[in-house]
Amino acid sequence: MYDNDQWREWKPYVSPCDPCPPILVKRYVVPPNQYIPFQPMNLPQFPLHEALRRGTLWPALYSPYPSRRATKGG
């Protein structure tokens, strides 16, 4: 479901006196452009119709976003 190279997890501190139920693991995305300091020559490219659908011409810079609607049931 998630691209494991782009997702990170961290565990927040849970106080014993916290009145709210704890969120045990939080997740966040690290954008792929953080790993590519400059654009190398001859990167593979999506076909034009696929690039328009994904929002980028280069697969190395593509980062899918999960649908909030699917996770919250709405």
What predicted TM-score, i.e. pTM, was given to this entire model? 0.57
Looking at residue 70, what is its pLDDT?
Answer: 61
**Residue-averaged pLDDT of the chain:** 82
Structure tokens that stand for 1 in this block: 């479901």
Domain boundaries, the chain: 7-72
Looking at residue 1, what is its pLDDT?
Answer: 41
Question: Residue 62 is which amino acid?
Answer: Y
End-to-end CA distance of the chain: 19
> For 29-63, what is each residue's pLDDT tens digit?
888 888 888 878 899 999 999 999 998 899 988 88
